[in-house]
Structure 1
Amino acid sequence: MATFKYYAAGRVRRFHAASLTGVAPRVTRGGVAHAGGQASQQALAAGHVANAIRGRGGWHGTLFHDLSGADLLAQSDPGSGAVTLPTHTVVVDGARASELLWLRDKHGFEIMREGRQGKVLLRAPQGGAAGVAAAFDVGERLVRRGRVAAAHPNFIRALLHTRALPLPIPHADAGGMWNLHNDGRQGLYGADVHALAAWTITRGSPDVRVAVLDEGVDTDHPSLEPAVVAELDVVSGNPRALPDGDDAHGTACAGVVLSRDSSVSGLAPLASLVAVRIARGDGGGHWILDDFDTADAIDWCWEEGRADVISSSWGGGPPTDVITRAFERARTKGRGGLGCVLAAAVGNDQGPVSFPACLPLVLGVGASNPWDEMKTRTSRDGESWWGTNRGPGIDLLAPGVRITTTDLHGPRGYGRADFVADFNGTSAATPHVAAAAALILAVAPRLTASRIRDIMVRTCDPLPGSGGHGSRRAGARRLNAYAALRAALRGA
C-alpha cells in the first residue's frame, strides 16, 4: 500500500493506492474466479478495469501505455465499488506560462493536451510507478506555490451503476409510469412528481437545453432524435455522442428527461437535448471516465453547448478541484451569468453522498420508491441490492425504482425493445430533477440557478412519517414539479 498526497478544496487529501501485483485468484470447480480477502477482491476489480482500458485502446489507453502490471496502482471503495487509478499525467487549471515553463525546465513535464478555460494536461518524463509518483509530487508543489487554481494527477475513475431490467413489449404497460402519475396500482396513490398537474402549465420549451453527461446517448432513437440540438464525445472524439455496444445508461437517463414518445414520456418532453459522452463501459459493470475530459466536457456544456441544465447520473471516487471548478464555472457563467442548474446522483450503496453530488453548488439527488419511501435495501419495492446514499449533500429525492424510459433502439441495450421498464438507482432519480428545472425555465427563463434550486427544494413533498418536514441531512422530501412551477410563476 502506497499513500500519496494531493490538494482538493484547499486541504490535503490522501490517496491510498494498492499495487495490483501478487493477486492470485483461485478458481472454483464452477470456473468462477475468487481472491482471498476484501483487498484482493478490490485489486481484482481494479485489474479488470485496467486491462479493459488497455485492451480497448483509445485515449484512456494511452494513459497506461507505459505501466506494467508491477507498476499499476489503484484505490478502491468497497462500499460503492468505485475504482480510481492514478496516471503519470497531471491536470492543471489556471496555470501561467511561467509555471508551465517551470514544469518543463525543472521537472521535465511536457504538455500533452490543452483544454477549455485554461486547463492543461501534462505528462511526466518518466514512465511506470515513478511517473505516477511524480504526478502527485508536482501537483502538490504547484498548489503550494500558489500560482495555479488547481493541480493534481489525472485520475481515471471506474464507476458502478445499478442494473435495469428489459421491457418485453414496445411500450409501457398500464400504470407503468408511476413516477409521473402514481394511481396506486404500483404503490401509494400520489407518490409521484405530479407531472399531470405540471403539464397543465407547461411541457417544457425547445429553448431550454438539458445536457446529459453519461456514457453516450442513442440520439437516433425515435423518441429522442427530435430533441437533439448538440452532441459531444470526449471519449473517442467522434462527432456524435453515440454509445458503444450495449451502453444504454445515458439513453435511459435522457428518456426520463425528455422522451417524446406518447406512451413513455419524459417529464419535460418539449425540452432540447445536449448529449455528452464522457464515459464508456468496460464490459464488467464499470464505466470509465477521466478527470481532465470530464471537466472539459462540463465547460463545453455551458460554453458551446449552451446548456441551461446539466444532469450527471454518475459519481464516486475522490474529490478533485478540476471537476469542482468546472461545475463552479457552469453555475456562475452559464446562461449568460444566470447559472446552469446542476443535478447529480448521490450514489446507490447506502453510504455517504458521492462526489460530485456532495458539492454545495450541485443538487444532490436521492431516490424514492412508489410508496414514497427513501429507497433503502429494506424498503417495500423489493430491490434489496441497493439503497440511496444519505447524509450531508442530499438535497431532495425523486423516483428511482422501476422507471420506464428509453433503451437503445433495436436489439442492443438493456433488452431487445426500444424501452426499458425497470431503470433504477439515483441515476434514474437525477434526470427527474433536471427535467423539473427545465420546466421551470420554460416559464421563468430569467430565474437564477440559485433561485431555481431553492424553489425545487422548498416545494418538495415531505415523505409520510417525516413529521411534515425534511432536512438537507435527512433528504426526506420528494420532488413536486407542479408545486415548483407554481412557485416559479409567483416569482418565489
Structure 2
Amino acid sequence: MRSARRPGVPVPPQELPMRLSIRPPAAVVLAGLALACAVPNAVAASDTTARLVVKYKTEAQAASADASRVRVQALAAKTGVELSALRQTATGATVYRMAEPVTLARARQIAARVAADASVAYALPDVRVKAAALPADPYASMQWSLQDSSTYTGAANLFSAWPSGNTRQIVVAVVDTGLLAHPDLTAHQIGGYDFISDTTIAADGDGRDSDPTDVGDYCTDDGTDSSWHGTSVAGLIAAQAGNGYGVAGGAANNALLLHARVLGRCGGYLSDVADAVVWAAGGSVSGVPTNTTPARVINLSLGADAGTSCYTYLQDAVDAAAARQAVVVVAAGNDGAASVGAPANCSGVIAVGAHTVAGDLASYSNHSADVTLTAPGGGSCMTLASCDSRPTYTIGNGGTRAASAMSELTGFAGTSAATPHVAAAAALLLAVDPSLTPAQVRSLLVSTARSHPSGTYCASHAGQCGAGMLDAAAAVAAIQGPVVTISGASVVTGSATVTLNASATGAGSGAS
C-alpha cells in the first residue's frame, strides 16, 4: 500500500519590510444594502447602509418626476420605507437616502422581495468603504501570501476577503500530523481523532485513539526532523486574528479546526487518510466515535508520489465526503512533475498547485490537467530568472523530535502551504453562504481566479496549472453582494421625500 507524505516542510523565516495593503473598492462595492429596520447598537457602521443607488433603463424614465411620485406613493402605502433623493451620479443613477441606517442582512431579506420592475437597469447599495489595515498580529505584515495582489502579484487577497456582517464559523478538518495546543490556534481548535492504525507510525503507545496530539513525525530512515506540519497548515487556515500574537490565518476567526491525525513517523497510509476523510465529513467509521462537528472543508496537504492512482477506496471516501457537502482540498505535490498523485487526482477534489511571490509556478510544484488552480506556496520559480523566493509564513514549533517552544513565525513552502490558502477561501465562502455545494464552491474559486502573469510557466503552458491564481476576495465578492432593484420607480428630483419597496437576492440573505 502506498504511503502518504507531506508535500511541504517549514523553512527558516527571514526579515521582510512591513507593508500596508489597501482594500480596493471593487471588493466591497456589493457588500450589502438595507432598507427597513433599525440597526442594533452592536452592529458596526461598516455593516449597515442608509443609501442606495438606482439607475433606470431610459433617460425619459429617469427624468419623469411626476410618474416617479405616483409610483413611489403606491409603494409607500405597501412598505412604509421612506427615502429622499440626494443627488445624481456622474453616470446617470440616483442616490437615495433612507430615514435611518439598517443592517445588511435585513437588506438582503427585503431585496429578495423586490426586483421585478422592467424600467430599472440596476439598483445597488451605497456601502461604506475603508482602508483595510493588516490584522493586529505582529507578523501579519510578513504574510505576503494573504495580502493584496496589488502589492504582491502572487498574493491571494485573503485579508481583504474577510466578510463583513454576521457570518458563521466553518469547521475545517486538517488531515495531517495532528494537533498542538499552539497559543495562536487554541481558540479555534475543537479536538479531533488519531487515525493512525500502525502503532510504529503512531509512536504514541497505541494505534487509533481519541487523542489527535502531534507527537512528532521525525524519520530516522531519511534523517528528517519532526515538521509540526499540521500546526503550520492549521495556522495558514485559522490562526487567530487580532490577538496581538503571531500571525493571522486566511480564514482567521471564521474557521474552527478539527484535527485528524494520519501522519506520524515517516508518513502514513492512504487507507487511514480515507477513513479520516469520511469521519471528518460526518460519516461512519467502524470502531470510531461519531464526529459531532462535521467539517464543511477538508484540507489534505499530503499525497503519494506523482503518478499514483486514486484507488477506489480513496475515491469512495472523497465521494462520501462530497455527499455530505464537504469540500475536499488537496495538495498537488512537490515532485516537480507533469503529473499528480493521489489524492490530488481523485475526482471531485480541488487540486492545488503552488506559485511564488511573482506568480510563477514554483519549481517544485506538480502540474497537470488535474490541477484546479494554484495558490501561494513560495519558493523558487519555474521560469522567471529574477525570482523572489521567500516562503509563506505561518506558525510552528521548534522541536526536532518532541515538541518544544511554540513559534510565532515559521517559513513554510510547498503545495502543502498552497492548499490551506484555498481551504481558507472555501471556508470564507461557506461562512457567507452555507448553502453552497462543493461543486458551487469549486466553481466560484475557478471562475474568479486571476490569470498567471505573462512570462511565467503557467501563462505559456495552458492546461497545466488550472484556472489561474487564487483570488479569495473576488470569490467572496461574487456571492456577498446582492443586486437590488426598485419596483416601478424612477428618479425623484429636488428635495421630494419618497417611499420605495425593495429586495435583494444573493447569498447569505440574512440567515444566521
1:157 corresponds in structure 2 to 3
Q: Does 1:365 align with 2:352?
A: yes
Q: Does 1:444 align with 2:444?
A: no
1:292 corresponds in structure 2 to 271
Runs of at least 5 residues in structure 2 that lack an aligned partner in the other structure: 16-136, 197-206, 217-225, 283-290, 379-390, 483-505, 508-512
CA-CA distance at 1:183 after TM superposition = 8.1
CA-CA distance at 1:191 after TM superposition = 3.0
Which amino acid in 2 is paired with 1:452? Answer: V
Distance 2:345 2:474 in 1: 25
Distance 2:359 2:278 in 1: 36
Contact 1:309-1:437 at 8 Å conserved across structures: yes
Aligned length: 312
2:214 to 243, 264, 289: 243
Distance 1:350 1:278 in 2: 24
1:435 corresponds in structure 2 to 424
Contact 2:238-2:424 at 8 Å conserved across structures: yes
1:306 corresponds in structure 2 to 294
Distance 1:215 1:308 in 2: 20
1:482 to 473, 484, 493: 473
Alignment of 1:248-397 (within 5 A): 248-262=228-242, 263-270=246-253, 271-282=255-266, 287=267, 289-303=268-282, 304=291, 305-317=293-305, 318-319=308-309, 320-332=311-323, 334=324, 339-351=325-337, 352-376=339-363, 387-397=364-374
- Give deviations 1:313-371, integer Å, cap 9, x for gaps: 01114321111100111011x1xxxx211100001111111211112300010111111
CA-CA distance at 1:430 after TM superposition = 0.3
Which amino acid in 1 is paired with 2:343? Answer: P
- Does the residue aligned with 2:251 lie in a helix, a strand or coil? coil
Contact 2:7-2:303 at 8 Å conserved across structures: no
1:406 corresponds in structure 2 to 395
Q: Does 1:454 align with 2:439?
A: no
Which amino acid in 2 is paired with 1:455? Answer: L
1:114 corresponds in structure 2 to none
- Summarize the Cα distance change of 1:370–1:239 in structure 2 as closer, same or farther, 3 Å threshold: same
- Summarize the Cα distance change of 1:173–1:326 in structure 2 as closer, same or farther, 3 Å threshold: closer
Name the one with the larger helix percent.
1
- Does the residue aligned with 1:461 lie in a helix, a strand or coil? coil
CA-CA distance at 1:404 after TM superposition = 1.1
Contact 1:299-1:326 at 8 Å conserved across structures: yes
- Does the residue aligned with 2:11 lie in a helix, a strand or coil? coil
Contact 2:182-2:406 at 8 Å conserved across structures: no
Distance 1:326 1:452 in 2: 19
Distance 1:202 1:411 in 2: 42
Which amino acid in 2 is paired with 1:457? Answer: V
RMSD between superposed Cα atoms in Å: 2.9
CA-CA distance at 1:261 after TM superposition = 4.8
Which amino acid in 1 is paired with 2:294? Answer: R
CA-CA distance at 1:293 after TM superposition = 2.2
Alignment of 1:94-105 (within 5 A): none
CA-CA distance at 1:247 after TM superposition = 3.9
CA-CA distance at 1:290 after TM superposition = 2.1
- Give deviations 1:210-249, integer Å, cap 9, x for gaps: 001011121x111111111231101132322111233401
Contact 1:278-1:294 at 8 Å conserved across structures: yes
CA-CA distance at 1:464 after TM superposition = 1.1
- Summarize the Cα distance change of 1:183–1:321 in structure 2 as closer, same or farther, 3 Å threshold: closer
CA-CA distance at 1:481 after TM superposition = 0.6
Q: Does 1:425 align with 2:414?
A: yes
Contact 1:366-1:426 at 8 Å conserved across structures: yes
- Give deviations 1:45-64, integer Å, cap 9, x for gaps: xxxxxxxxxxxxxxxxxxxx
Which amino acid in 1 is paired with 2:209? Answer: N
Distance 1:344 1:280 in 2: 19
- Summarize the Cα distance change of 1:400–1:242 in structure 2 as closer, same or farther, 3 Å threshold: same
- Does the residue aligned with 1:280 lie in a helix, a strand or coil? coil
Distance 2:167 2:459 in 1: 30
Distance 1:311 1:484 in 2: 19
- Summarize the Cα distance change of 1:389–1:410 in structure 2 as closer, same or farther, 3 Å threshold: closer
Distance 1:415 1:346 in 2: 30
* TM-score normalised per structure 2: 0.56
1:222 to 169, 175, 183: 183
* TM-score normalised per structure 1: 0.58
CA-CA distance at 1:295 after TM superposition = 1.6
Distance 2:459 2:432 in 1: 28
- Does the residue aligned with 2:173 lie in a helix, a strand or coil? strand
Runs of at least 5 residues in structure 1 that lack an aligned partner in the other structure: 1-154, 377-386
- Does the residue aligned with 1:428 lie in a helix, a strand or coil? helix
Contact 1:390-1:473 at 8 Å conserved across structures: yes
Alignment of 1:177-188 (within 5 A): 177-181=143-147
CA-CA distance at 1:420 after TM superposition = 3.9
- Does the residue aligned with 1:405 lie in a helix, a strand or coil? strand
- Does the residue aligned with 1:296 lie in a helix, a strand or coil? helix
- Summarize the Cα distance change of 1:239–1:447 in structure 2 as closer, same or farther, 3 Å threshold: same
Percent of residue pairs bearing the same amino acid type: 31
Q: Does 1:234 align with 2:187?
A: no
- Give deviations 1:373-428, integer Å, cap 9, x for gaps: 1212xxxxxxxxxx211111101111101111121377868995513432010000
- Does the residue aligned with 2:443 lie in a helix, a strand or coil? helix
Which amino acid in 2 is paired with 1:215? Answer: T
If asked which structure has higher relative contact order (CA below 8 Å, sep 6+), I would say: 2
Contact 2:356-2:376 at 8 Å conserved across structures: yes
- Give deviations 1:270-324, integer Å, cap 9, x for gaps: 2111111011132xxxx1x223322211111111241100000011143211111
Distance 1:476 1:202 in 2: 30
- Summarize the Cα distance change of 1:200–1:300 in structure 2 as closer, same or farther, 3 Å threshold: closer
